[in-house]
Structure formats: structure tokens, C-alpha cells
Amino acid sequence: MTSIPTTLGPKRSDELGLILPHEHIFVDLRTLDTPGFAQADVEQVVQLMTPEIEKAQAVGVTAIVECSAVGVGRRVDIIRAVSEATQLPVVVPTGVYREPWVPDWVHNASESYLAEWMLSELQGEIEDSGVQAGWIKLSAGDEGLTDVETKILRAAATAGRESNAVIGSHTIQGQVVRDQLDIIEAIGYAPERFIWIHTQAEPEFELHLEMAQRGAWLEYDWIGNQDEDDLLKIQQLLDAGYGNQLLLSQDRGWYDPALPGGGVPQPYTYLVEKFLPKLRAAGIEEATIHQLTHTNPFRAFAR
């Protein structure tokens, strides 16, 4: 029986419904040496984000995947506090973001050390938080993988192979995903356990099809920004038979420590309230919508 590790313990498919596979509760996109980087009062984050999560729960969201990795303000203590206050299970990553958000210790670490570190968070817990990492988040430079990004990816493939955890990569260019799949396959990690985060940012639709053909998950995760374009491509992917490899999310939220009081979060409800009705209006069947919003995200993150 597979389950997804969350802030509220492992969850089976019968305990979950609609899952948002790419959102944020807390992110800091400033450089790591900025004074106050990733700092916030935990209670203030809980106060700001609780109403947003309650609104999401009211429209049927049963879990969200937090995509803030090491480098952009991963704060598992904060995520756990928000999760416990709302009783929403949150899936938290191990892994490291791209340059220039890669901390010195990661630059200095060996590939095998990084793999051991990821595996310890995937099989044990993150930083004595009591929370097990549910997946591996990483990224790649827009012009191609740098040496340190390649080291992180190779370490992730090893840790993922040992744990069956899914790897998700923020990769803006399809050409770079091609390289990433080559690298992980050479280590013996299946493309079927790789999520191409921000697939929609690649204008060349042929590359979406190519990576789907190789087995990877495609994630359209800026729902709400380009609905007509997304809708067209979703229909084309469904027609091509890739409906079981597609994930939808919004990349929204979040408490931003760079802004006074954390700023004004964007609601998590757009997909359910506005976009799913557009899919229905386009003639996409309810069973397919269920697959895209319930079955697929569970299968992607479960192990």
C-alpha cells in the first residue's frame, strides 16, 4: 500500500482527494546572504496563511505540495505549524534549488554526501522537525545545468532510486530536461519518477510530447496566468494519450519575508473555482478531471 509522507504523517489515497502538486506557504527568493533571509515569526505566518488554506479546504483541497527547497527559504518548522493549525497535510521536499541559491555547504559537499543527506530526510526526518521529506525538489539554470546543479541532480537520482521518491525540477527549457533525463537514466532512476516543473514555460510543444514519450510527468503549474494556452495544450496531451502523466497547479501562496507582514498571499482556489469549470465547458469528462486533480498527483508523490 503506497502513501505520501506529509507533515501530518503518511497519507494513503483513501485519506486524500484533490491535491495541489505545486504551491508555496513560505518562500524567500532573496540571496542567502540577505540580512533576515528566511526569518519570520512563526505565529505571524500561521495567522497570514491559515485563512488562505481554509479557503482552499472549503473548495475541496485535501493536501498541497510545498515546493520551497533548500536555498529559497525552506522552513519545515513553519510549514508544520501552519499544517497543524489547519490540519492540512503538506508534502515537504528535500533537495536544493539552482544557482545562485545554492548554499556554500552544498557547493563543498561531495555527490555521495548529498545523496546520503537527501536519503536521510526521505527516510528519516528533516532537521529534527519530526517531518519526513516527501520528495526531492531541485532546479536547473535556464541556459543548462551548471556543475553544481549536475552534482545535485546526480545525488537526487541516487537518493530517489534508493527510496522511490519522486524528483521535481524547476526547468524552464525543454532542452535542459532532455539532459536531465539522460543523467538520471544513466544512474538507473526512471524518468517515470521525474516531474518537469513549469513545463508550460517551454513554448515548443514538441518538447512536451518528447518528454512525455520518455515517461516524465509534465506539470502545468501556472494555472490562472495563461488559461487559453494551457487548455489547448491539455486537450492535445489528452488526445495524445498522456492524461496519466499530467499535473496541474498554480504556484501560488505565500508568506514572503521580504515584504512587510509577509505581503498579500494569492489564493489557492483558482484552479477549482475558475479553471476546472473551463475544462468542463471544453467537454473534458469528469473522470478525466478526477484523474488530473486526484489520481495523478497521488501517484506522482506516493511511494
CA distances from 227 to 21, 276, 277 (A): 18, 11, 12
Q: Which residues of 199-236 are buried (b: 16+ CB within 10 A; e: fewer)?
A: bbbbeebebbbebbeeebbbbbbbbbeeeeebbebbee
262 grid coordinates: 509577509
67 in contact with Zn ion (CB under 5 A)? yes
Instruction: Count the site residues for Zn ion by CB under 5 A.
Output: 2
Least distance (Å) between residue 2 CB and Zn ion: 25
Residues of this chain, 240-279, that bind Zn ion according to CB under 5 A: 251
Residues of this chain, 91-150, that bind Zn ion according to CB under 5 A: none
With respect to Zn ion, which residue has the nearer C-beta, 97 or 189? 97
Stretch that binds Zn ion, among 32-40, 64-72, 134-142, 199-207 (CB under 5 A): 64-72
Residues 21-60 vs Zn ion: string with x where CB under 5 A? ----------------------------------------
Q: Which amino acid is at 69?
A: A
Least distance (Å) between residue 137 CB and Zn ion: 9
With respect to Zn ion, which residue has the nearer C-beta, 63 or 284? 63
Q: Is the dihedral of CA 282, 225, 101, 72 positive or negative?
A: negative
Helix axes 147-163, 111-123, angle to 10 degrees: 40
Spatial strand order of the sheet with 194-197 comes to 93-94, 135-139, 167-170, 194-197, 217-220, 246-248
For residue 96, what is the DSSP state?
B
219 in contact with Zn ion (CB under 5 A)? no
With respect to Zn ion, which residue has the nearer C-beta, 69 or 238? 69
Stretch that binds Zn ion, among 29-37, 62-70, 112-120, 234-242 (CB under 5 A): 62-70
Q: Provide the binding-site residues for Zn ion, judged by CB under 5 A.
A: 67, 251
